[in-house]
Structure 1
Amino acid sequence: PATWQWTAADSLFLELIAQCHQRGMRIIIDGVFNHTGNTFWAFRDLQEKQEASAYKDWYIVHRFDDPATAENEFRYEGWVGVETLPEIREDENGLVTGPREHVHAIVQRWMDPNGDGDPSDGIDGWRLDVSEMVDVDFWKEFRQWVKEINPDGYITGEYWWEDYGHNVMHNAADRFDIAFDAVMNYRLARAMYQFIGNREKQIDARGFADSLQNQYREYPWERVLTCQNLLCSHDVDRFSSQVVNPDRWIDHAADPYGNPDYLLRAPNAEEWQKVRLAAGLQMTLPGAPMVYYGEEAGMWGGDDPDCRKPMTWPEMNFPPESHDQFGRLREPDPVGFDPKLFDWYQSLIEIRRGSAALLHGQIEFLQAEGPLLVFRRSTETESAIVVANNAPVPLRMTLNTAAYFPEATELVDRLSGTVYSTPELPLELSNFGIVVLTKKN
């Protein structure tokens, strides 16, 4: 740290932080503290100097090179065996002293760049990569470092696979408040895929509700509300491609490399309706929605690297997608920004931000049968009822709202603007449709 300088790129990032803060936005950055790249300066020093390196204890070295032989015997531990990602050494307390102190300095540098005790010029939190592969005692100390600088600093952990081979995800309850404020909610993403994406192996509304309620019972409510509710990320195929490729385990067989039957085509009209429904539920269920770049723009793609294609900005033109990842020709799909889907996301976000019930209200499942899901979000002073039809055909139903809006004479669907007289609401939901009912202002 004593030799660190602020590069032009660093200064530009500080300007980005300032501009975001001026707009009421916050920035969290990705902290990768289980491993480094093999071009990282400490590892390069180790490669060059071997046992003489000041950083030989930073990494898990199995064997140093013997300079007396022509062969390079240097062997070390890589993240899940990947040689380009050498793992950082740990002891019973997590990262060993050298890298531990280095990470502490990183936290200080980016959370309070000028070191004046005011964190307003720094980042606002951390997303911690492969957090289950670092001892929790280290994360406890990491949390102290963060909260000492900014008590409101947000810490979310990538904490999902307990047993990848058997589709078992972690229960993160024992990580909250001692380590993380939230986790990336892949359990919700899995339930969404099973409910909306699957066909032959689909769970019904009851199974979906039960899956969510299990998590709500396991997690403190305030942590349910802070969890990153995602449909997809940079580490899985996009949800828009998940619905094209149903009946798998999430994050399994998610690209043509491991699954020759995986389809890379764009979703059809019905599949885009499923995407819209999933976004509607994401924005109305308890938690903090995380929109992966391009979801709102209509992007699709299989697992990494296909899910990391360039953003389809509205002012740019793109050639059709006509090849798979192996360079083989396929039926071309137009590529471009989807303004209707973007408007849908904007509407959902506006509705959520304008509703205390949707932001932090309790949840009660009123109906969950077949494709029909009805739930209520409520605070002491406000309610919202969400009705979803996860079926390829329209659905008609009558909803009695007397118990939930006793003083209201009219309710409005915030998505369509349709006004209903209470208490008996004759609802008509389109295929994969959703309505969000609140008291009419």
Structure 2
Amino acid sequence: MSTWSEYAVWWQLHPLTFLGAIPAAPTAVGDATVEHRLDGLEPWLDYLVELGCNGLALGPIFASESHGYDTTDHYRIDPKLGTDEDFARLVERCRARGVRLLLDGVFNHVGRGFPAFRDVLEHGRASRYASWFRTDFDEPGTDGDGFAYACFEGHRHLVALNHAEPEVREYVSGVMRHWLERGADGWRLDAAYAVPHDFWHETIGRVRGEGHQNAWFVGEYIHGDYTAAVREGALDSVTQYELWKAIWSSLNDGNFFELAWALDRHNGYTDAQLPLTFVGNHDVTRLASRLEDERCLPHALAILLTVAGIPSIYAGDEQAFRGVKYERADGDAEIRPAFPPQGPAGLAPHGRPVFRLHQDLIGLRRRHPWLVRARTRVLRLEKLAFAYEVRDPDGDAALAVLLNLADREQVFPVGPAGARRILASRGSGWNGLVEAHGWAILDLRP
């Protein structure tokens, strides 16, 4: 694994919607007017640094038919966002601020306008690209194409690649190398769970073997065996959806037993890799809308930023943006809004307290960099009261995180006498006292 990634705190965004390129009518391949929207990210780079982050994780930026996940050309910046020159300027601006850049690699599927698939549509089984896709030319299909093909989770406009095809493996590794050479620091591998492990092992191995040993690769895994995915796929990290669910679910249900179970499993995962941890991203209902009691939002953030792993903040969550994910054609609209075109100055002031809380907790993580590999141990476990210790596996440093969901204050007799309060809700933290619906983080060093 790259050493720099252990110190990364990502700020993630979906560029096409963030920069106002969507909603827009889909454009035919090659017909799109170039819009230089990527330059609009510059003022947000200072904002993410002010927040405490040092990494920019971008959603899809390559030529696509609509939302970015229906790619038509992995070697071309989406005209709705800009050009190669715009990307080069973004890289320079990130470097000037010490900001790492993570790209979104959509390599499980492509759009129907992908040139190789268009060739198959035109020439059928005679196409030299017929083996790039999982096609069945003996079946008529359902789209009037004259043949059947595999797609991504029932979405016929997302055509699944054939990951056993050597040319597909060479194509994907070539794309990865190209953009790493252009200044990217790593790849988020979209829908990695739908791709055979050996595909990632081979393609990532090729890229590392050609001068990119320091690149970071994180696979999107919603379920399954995270440890096997890392081991067999040569990945550095996976998305920790199991912890994401346990955080908001335990807070909503008033049941910390679920969180304790997930943290125990999280210890096991971090023995093998450092997962990408989060409480929000571009695919899920925003935290402020997911939580049934807004008083629980600081608890969720305290958990995220004190446990092991590499944390990611979804743009807008640090301002307590709201938005619900729906299972319908426009179901992502609320969770992927356009941000103010004038930059951070256009944000409403009422989000500032949550922004400040993020700053405080990210700052705590910066002052305790060992948290990336911390081991978690339960100190007190009740349905509405939870305390856990996070300890440096290679030293004496340790913190205690105290969480209270009850309607009354509680005393947590943890740690040595006089344990020092680092951060807490108002009225919490002295001698283990935590106010009703409060939280506290203590330094356990004597």
TM-score (norm 2): 0.72
Deviation at 1:413, TM superposition (A): 2.8
Matches within 5 A, 1:79-94: 79-91=152-164
Return the offset for 1:134: 1.1
**Conserved in 2, the CA contact under 8 Å of 1:34 and 1:134?**
yes
Structure-1 residue corresponding to 2:178: 109
State the Cα distance separating 1:416 from its structure 2 match.
5.9
Tell me whether 1:412 sits opposite 2:421 in the alignment. Answer: yes
Question: Could you say if the C-alpha distance between residues 16 and 177 of structure 1 is closer, same or farther in structure 2, counting changes exceeding 3 Å?
Answer: farther
Q: Shift in Å at residue 398 of structure 1?
A: 4.6
Aligned positions, number: 355
Distance across 2 between alignment mates of 1:104 and 1:26:
21
2:303 is aligned with 1:285: no
CA contact (8 A) 1:195 1:208 kept: yes
Output the CA distance in 2 between the equivalents of 1:58 and 1:131. 18
- Structure 1 counterpart of 2:316, one-letter code: G
2:230: which partner in 1? 176
Residue 355 of structure 2 corresponds to: 342
Residues in 1 aligned to 2:157 and 2:349: alpha-carbon distance in whole angstroms:
34
- Deviation, 1:59, is 1.5
Choose the corresponding residue for 1:136, options 197, 207, 211: 197
Q: Distance in 2 between matches of 1:137 and 1:60?
A: 17
- Give distance in 2, aligned partners of 1:25 and 1:240: 27
Decide whether aligned partners of structure 1 residues 42 and 182 sit closer, same or farther in structure 2, where only a CA change above 3 A counts: same
Q: Any stretches of 5+ residues in structure 2 without a counterpart? A: 1-73, 326-330
- Could you tell which deviates more after superposition, 29-38 or 177-186? 177-186
Q: Identify which of structures 1 and 2 has the higher relative contact order when contacts are C-alpha pairs closer than 8 Å and 6+ apart.
A: 2
The percentage of counterpart residues that share the same residue type is 25
Deviations 1:228-253 (A, max 9, x none): 11123222222222224xxxxxxxxx
Structure-1 residue corresponding to 2:290: 242
Distance 2:153 2:432 in 1: 55
Native 8 Å contact 1:107 1:145 kept in 2: no
Q: How far apart in 1 are the matches of 2:309 and 2:151? A: 34
Q: TM-score, normalised on structure 1?
A: 0.73
Structure 1 counterpart of 2:405, which letter?
A: N
Structure 2: which amino acid aligns with 1:412? Answer: R
Distance 1:420-1:394 versus aligned 2 partners, 3 A rule: closer
The reply to whether residue 147 of structure 1 matches residue 208 of structure 2 is yes
In the alignment, which residue of structure 1 is the partner of 2:246?
A: 191
SS for the counterpart of 1:123 is: coil
Assess, with a 3 A threshold, how the Cα gap between structure 1 residues 152 and 197 changes in structure 2: closer, same or farther: farther
Shift of 1:22: 2.6
Quick one: which amino acid aligns to residue 435 of structure 2? L
1:368 aligned residue: 381
Q: Residue 437 of structure 1: SS of its match in structure 2?
A: strand
Preserved contact between residue 413 and residue 419 of structure 1 (Cα < 8 Å): no
Q: Secondary structure at the match of 2:156?
A: coil
> Contact 2:318/2:358 (CA < 8 Å) preserved in 1?
yes
Root mean square deviation of aligned Cα:
3.0
* Aligned equivalent of 2:261, options 210, 218, 242: 210
Runs of 4+ in 1 over 4 A off after TM superposition: 3-8, 415-421
Query: CA distance change for structure 1 residues 337 and 57 in 2, over 3 Å: closer, same or farther?
Result: farther
Partner of 2:167: 98
Bigger drift between 32-41 and 148-157 goes to 148-157
**Where do residues 2-401 of structure 1 align in structure 2 (5 Å cutoff)?**
9-63=83-137, 72-91=145-164, 96-113=165-182, 122-148=183-209, 149-160=211-222, 169-179=223-233, 180-198=235-253, 202=254, 204-217=255-268, 219-221=269-271, 223=273, 226-244=274-292, 271-303=293-325, 304-305=331-332, 306-311=334-339, 314-316=344-346, 338-379=351-392, 380-391=395-406, 393-401=407-415
Q: Structure 1 stretch 42-51 or stretch 125-134: which is displaced more?
A: 42-51
- Greater radius of gyration (CA): 1
1:435 aligns with 2:444: no
